[in-house]
Chain A
Amino acid sequence: AQSVTQLDSHVSVSEGTPVLLRCNYSSSYSPSLFWYVQHPNKGLQLLLKYTSAATLVKGINGFEAEFKKSETSFHLTKPSAHMSDAAEYFCVVSEGTGGFKTIFGAGTRLFVKA
């Protein structure tokens, strides 16, 4: 069975400092992993995805994530936070072997202070 755990419900950083949003997963198969972002009162937008091609994945707006199989982690990072990064972030795992279901983490709300 697959599951996703986002280790922090809230993260607060100052503008210009690094961002780290943590995600652990479990999956019986080789997973696809995603990070989505949701700005207030908006739908979700894909930030990046891991599909086994490379363990370090680059996404939009300067975000990156590293897949670590030994640690079953897929943490999201950004070197320097911007005010516009304030949003909710979801780590998502898709069932392997052509699966049709996704499991969302509970979400991490990122606050960025001026």
Chain B
Amino acid sequence: NAGVTQTPKFQVLKTGQSMTLQCAQDMNHEYMSWYRQDPGMGLRLIHYSVGAGITDQGEVPNGYNVSRSTTEDFPLRLLSAAPSQTSVYFCASSPYRGLLNNEQFFGPGTRLTVL
């Protein structure tokens, strides 16, 4: 199993550009999520999904869209990039719908810079 994979590893955007961060998992996990990591703030939840066709907002959803058409893939779309979205983005998955008692498996991250 490759686990959780993310592409690209690095990306530089100009303000106003759009792009999609890719996330895939091959463990047949129901739950997938996107976080952003900023210095001194830990990880903050952007969006999550508890199964194909089901998504919901996390703590910091503004400026981001997600969809979950398959169990394996959970792309994160930046509609119009802003410098405040400069961050490291992590995708994670978990075997079950709920996170009570269940660990998450993290991808290697995507480092995004918005100029």
Binding site for A on B (CB under 8 A): 4, 31, 35, 40-45, 48, 50, 56, 58-59, 90, 92, 97-104, 106-109
Contact = CB atoms under 8 A, between A and B. Distances in A.
Contact of B99 (A4, A43, A94): A94
Contacts of A49: 101, 103
Interface of A: 4, 9, 32, 34, 36, 42-46, 49, 51, 90, 94-102, 104-107
Contacts of A9: 40
The residue in A34, A49, A94 that gathers the most chain B C-beta atoms within 10 A of its C-beta is A94
B11 to A, nearest CB: 16
Contact of A106 (B41, B102, B106, B108): B41
Contacts of B107: 43
Contacts of B50: 100
A80 B2 CA distance: 33
A44 B100 contact: no
A102 to B, nearest CB: 6
